[in-house]
Amino acid sequence: MSSLTFESFLPVELPSVGATDGNRREDSVAATVEQVLAAVQGSRQGIERRREERFPYPHPIYLTPLPGTGERRADPRRETIVVIGKHLSTHGVDFYHREPIPHRRVIASLDAAEHGWIGLLLELTWCRFNRHGWYDNGGRFLSVLESPLEIERRTSA
């Protein structure tokens, strides 16, 4: 049986900027990571159009659709979907999901630790397919509502 060690990987030769012999490996790793970061950040240079600061929010967000006019009230436990947050601001959120979301308005439930689940009425205003097979979605908060998850938590306790 053979064992795999770190030394058994083939070295990848990358140009190292300003490297000395003692830190050439670290510089090649740093240069490779910088290439990945540059690809992720894109080439958007210029003025930021947003008026408020956005904060990274890589946490699950639970979306419960609101019934449209004439629709019956759906069971929130069955209809709620989980998405992965991207950024959060005081007036909106953007997130990732594997499929486009067909609803215009949803209740976004965010976990506020000891405060329980916070519910916000979210109007979904945009959706884009990204190159990794996911959809980037976003919208703005319209009002504070009671979270279906908080209601369920209280009734089951």
Domain 55-156 classification at class level: mainly beta
Q: Residue 54's pLDDT is what?
A: 85
Q: Who has greater pLDDT, 8 or 62?
A: 62
CA-CA distance, 23 to 13, in Å (whole number)?
14
> Over the chain, what is the mean pLDDT?
78
pLDDT per residue over 21-72, tens digit each?
555 666 777 777 777 767 655 555 545 566 678 889 999 999 999 866 555 5
- Predicted local confidence at residue 12, as pLDDT: 47
| Residue showing tokens 């959120």 | 93
Please state, in angstroms and rounded to a whole number, the distance separating the CA atoms of residues 72 and 46. Answer: 47
